[in-house]
A and B are shown apart, each in its own frame.
Chain A
């Protein structure tokens, strides 16, 4: 200060201008190396900052910010700098009566508007500046913290939303500011409250964060500490902040309710003991007023219905509503508070049955006790009461009846006085009497005869509103109204009259009434049917004019004012013209009526008629259709049932049939087998050809077997004949030997002649032996055939049991292979036979030779007859017999050869058959090569062995 004084003192004559001084001071702040000097300079700037805001701001702002950054450790200089900045930015400086102000008044006045705002903008353009301030808030030093709070508040006042965004972007910004209201130093706490009020204005995000930081609890604590409504302005600030947090912020309202804080509001309204002197301080009134507003915020009709209901319930159960009602009935409550309390009670009970019931049960502490509603209504109808109070009661009464059918019914019941007792006044009576006094209508039941023309506008509008509400959505009322033939002409005349501005509102309502008469007309009154009224409107009033009159209502101030909120808010009694409920009604009917009064063009009418007829037709059509479909459905269901039964039966049958088929199949295969044996040629079908083929082959195999058997028999027979022949030969030999012995001379020769014979016979016997062995081999072959046949049969039966085509194929292949075997065997046996035949021929030849030799022998015998006649005669006889026997033998040989021929023929037949088989097998064989090959290999081996055997046999023969 010394510096300043010196500075000012040095030039007493030519006092420097403020700007010059500030320039020097700024220079000083920047250039001084000593902290003390800088501090003094800043202090000087601070002193000038109120008078020379513009100068200090323009020249010193950056310098001051610089000081804040560099000298932040020195609380004092920071304090000066912050104060200076606050001074230049604050548009409404608290006048701490600076003695210099009158001196420089002229200069101050010249500063541009919203200078502080502009400086604020410059300051917050740099986000670091705000962050700097937020960091200062961490400083506990009072000299730093307090001016920071003030400066922040100023900044927020000037550029609220920008500051809010900056603070939001700092993660701890809001919580640091929240810490302020926990500061033990009341000054900081209180200024912190002011700061938070600014901070939370209109920013839901910040409101929520502040609430999250336990703001509600802390604020309620402060209020309690300060003594509720008796507390000072701090309580007011707390309440303002709470209002900010709750208003239109559903999330915070939920948190408030959820945290059980509504209950904590109850003690706020303990005012009975708090009015010792009877007088209420202005602050107390304000506080209480705000407390009531706080309650109303929670149950405002603008909130979501669910949350309103929840809050209303809590308010009733925690006794808050009771406390409010006590205030209502208390004496000495200022009218202002009383009004607001009534409004609060209104909203606490609005649309909540339980609360409405409670309210109805409240009695005023009078003698005799009267219901609070009646007492309130008495105030309402008392024109000496303040108008706002009367409006509040009206609102309260409306809220009481809102969605309250029981209450409505009760009021209706008491409309007319029932007892002569003057003290027993009912609410309905009160209202009714009031109306009677004020309104110049006589018999209300006959509403045609009222004369609204002459009455006050307010009264007329009231009556019109009543009529509109009454007739809307009620055809019977409309009919009654139209029954009075004078009503409609009266309405039309009112609508068509020239009118002043306020009267136009009434005309609009008249138009609405007429419109309602059209819309809810059931055409029961001949003269005033819908159509006639429409014609009347279009001819007498004109549609455009009618619409104009209607739409005038929505354009009027009264309309928009009433539409704003359910609570009646009027400046003066004569302004009470329209109310919220009527506005709702008007909104509902405006469009409907516009449509209803417009007479339908013929096309439209026809179309409508048509559509109606169509509708009727369509409906009947559909009905029939539905009936038909129903019947169909029914029959279909029955059918379904039947079909189901049938299905189950059929399934049973199917099962039976399946088993039968199985049996039949078995039988069939059996039959096939037997049939195949009987007539193999007949069976030649395409499907299951394999099995049939096999069966047929089997049959043929059987045939061939039989043939073979017969052949063997024949062979055996031949064998026997050969045996006989041999025996004969031995007999002949023996005879020859006897003859030899009897005649010695001839003996040698005879012996000579018989020896070759004997030898031949021996050869013959040997050949016979051979034949026999061959036969036995043939027999064994036949045996193999048989076994093969057995195998085939078993396979065939297996095949018929499981007739898969693959198995059949395999079977057929196997069969084929075996047949091939058989064939080869057959070929062998054929060859054998041929050889046998040849041998037999040989044998024949030999036999004939033998005969010849015998003949020669007999000739020889005849020649030596001379020698010994008797002996020779005997010999001759014997020879003759021998020759005869020989002849017989020859004959027998011939028969044998014949038989052999037969055998040959049979063999040829067999050959042909085998060939046929072979062809067929070839056909089959083409189809299944793989199996064929496998089996074929085996067969080849077998064949090879057979061949070897044959070769051996051949070799033996050759050796022979």
Chain B
């Protein structure tokens, strides 16, 4: 349980762009080429370190299919960060970014950090969207941008961690109201002044280390 902050992320984007694979690569460090279609929302978690502080990331991987869109929308409000993913080998997924972004901006809290991700960078030969286009889109809409490959794990860590860094900076700047858990940020138990007895569930820390890996 020894974390300074807990951030909630959501991963959004068209179906088949590799959202679940990104999450799996980040949490389990493995790649599953054949992945079942995500139904509704799936959950994953991992601990990272930023600025010497342990930060727990709780990540909700959403279904990209249109039919699950309304369910997905329910998650925007409570998330501190969002990874908006497109597939560099499918231009239509890039073209839909505007819709996704509008949806996200409309339903999320205004401080939510959005990271734009062009996934499948390992498939250079099939590339349909230039890196510069992604960069331009990100610049235009004030997003952080990165190209990743869930297959080779290139930039996957960085994508999640950089998003967390951005959120962390916003906390330091006082932009986020960290006492409002609806923002998707929670202060760790030992940092919380209110209830040390509750968080100190005895030697629970040791057991959590085991839980933290999955």
Contact = CB atoms under 8 A, between A and B. Distances in A.
Contacts of A254: 43, 45, 214
B40 to A, nearest CB: 5
Contacts of A310: 210-211, 214
- Chain A CB within 10 Å — which of B40, B42, B60, B76 has the most? B40
Nearest to B2: A260
Given A214-B181, A310-B211, A318 B78 contact: no
B74 A263 contact: no
A208 interface: yes
B74 A175 contact: yes
B1 A208 contact: no
A224 B195 CA distance: 12
Given A204-B40, A318-B204, A172 B8 contact: no
Contacts of B77: 171-172, 175
A168 interface: yes
Contacts of A724: none
Contact of B1 (A174, A205, A260): A260
A405 interface: no
Given A257-B211, A310-B214, A313-B210, A263 B201 contact: yes
B42 A171 contact: no
A212 interface: yes
Nearest to B189: A260
B75 interface: yes
A257 to B, nearest CB: 6
A171 B207 contact: no
Contacts of A208: 40-41, 43
B78 A168 contact: no
A319 interface: yes
A258 B74 CA distance: 21
A610 interface: no
B1 A172 contact: no
Contacts of B214: 254, 258, 310
Interface in A571-620: none
Contacts of A410: none
Interface in B193-214: 198, 201-204, 206-208, 210-212, 214
B70 A169 contact: yes
Q: How large is the interface on B (under 10, 10 to 19, 20 to 34, 35 or more residues)?
A: 20 to 34
Nearest to B76: A171
Given A174-B74, A175-B78, A212-B60, A263 B42 contact: no
Nearest to B68: A205
Contacts of A318: 201-204, 207
Nearest to A264: B201
Given A255-B43, A310-B211, A209 B70 contact: no
A208 B68 CA distance: 13
Contacts of B202: 263, 266, 318-319
B75 A168 contact: no
B73 interface: yes
B74 A255 contact: no
B198 A258 contact: no
Contacts of B41: 205, 208-209, 212, 251
A227 to B, nearest CB: 14
Interface string B1-16: 1000000100000000
Contacts of A212: 8, 41, 60, 74-75, 78
Contact of B211 (A169, A170, A174, A260): A260
A205 B69 CA distance: 12
B42 A258 contact: no
Contact of B201 (A205, A209, A214, A266): A266
6 contacts: A251-B42, A259-B58, A264-B198, A310-B210, A310-B211, A310-B214
Given A169-B70, A170-B70, A266-B202, 19 more contacts: A171-B77, A171-B107, A175-B74, A175-B78, A208-B43, A209-B71, A251-B42, A251-B43, A255-B58, A257-B211, A258-B45, A258-B212, A258-B214, A260-B208, A263-B208, A264-B198, A314-B207, A318-B207, A319-B202
